[in-house]
Amino acid sequence: MIINQWQPVNYYFPSATVLYYEITGSTAEDLRSQMDFLGPIDDNGHRYDALTRWFIRWCWPGFGQSPCELDKATVSYEIKVIFPRWIPFKDASPKLVARWEDYISALAEHEKGHVDYIVKNYQSVAVAIKNANCHTADSAAHAALVPLRKHDY
């Protein structure tokens, strides 16, 4: 999919919120330098050009009590993709604009993989909760997050 940089990439991630950081420049080196300086930082202190962050929450009637109703557990997710946005100057090199659009398309495809994985697999937390008991359900939910996090790194 080719992304026109003058259009936001929000539609590429329908299950996520896209947050942009603005970069400026008139050369590929300028753009790289800006992303290296302004790009999002993950929990391990690594900076990236784009980053997908997700949070999964759960609850059920009687949470933390006994009796509880684990069969009524609900699980939801929140996903945010932090993405660079460059708006070329009017006299920007068409070659640079084309390279940027190719790069942004590849970057969006990569981040889409992270988003799609969470959307496809977040219900594994609900399964873990429903297979537990009132005393172990919260721990089971946290344990179900481990493979999701491992996939992300």
86 in Cβ contact with 103 (< 8 Å) = no
Average pLDDT of the chain is 91
- Percent of the chain beyond pLDDT 70? 92
Q: How far is CA 140 from CA 34, 59, 62, 132, 137, in A?
A: 42, 13, 16, 7, 5
Entry pTM: 0.87
pLDDT in tens, 37-49: 999 999 999 999 9
| Average pLDDT for 7-15 | 71
Distance CA 66, CA 135 (A): 8
